[in-house]
Amino acid sequence: MPRLVTFIDDSLLKNLKQMGENNKKSLSKLAAELIEIGYNVKQIHGGKGNKEEEKRQELIAKHTEYLLRILTILADVYACVRNEKSQQDGEKINDTLDIIKKNVQSYIAGYIGKD
């Protein structure tokens, strides 16, 4: 069995010895059990960390999508301001927004495909 060396406070050592005497276990056996319990708790909380990481990645993806939407709209507005022909041929505002949304989706698909 591998050997583990660590430094602990005197008060903690005193408490561990008292726990060992109460449970009739050696200090090394008690320390091994406590480490194992701590490790199991860490793994359980580590699973929640993975969920947090997934949420973080999802947020980054949403942020990228919204950023690309804004950039697409701004590019079309810039073309209109410079009196260039707009990419949009819709007669109504809703038609134009639908066309912009389709363009954004294609840009997003292209961006995701680059990964």
Per residue of the chain (115 residues), give pLDDT as tens: 777 788 888 888 888 888 888 888 888 888 888 888 888 887 777 666 567 777 777 888 788 778 877 877 777 777 666 665 655 555 666 676 777 777 777 777 776 666 5
Closest CA to 110 of 70, 74, 65: 65
State the virtual CA torsion across 60, 66, 69, 75 in degrees, nearest 10: -90
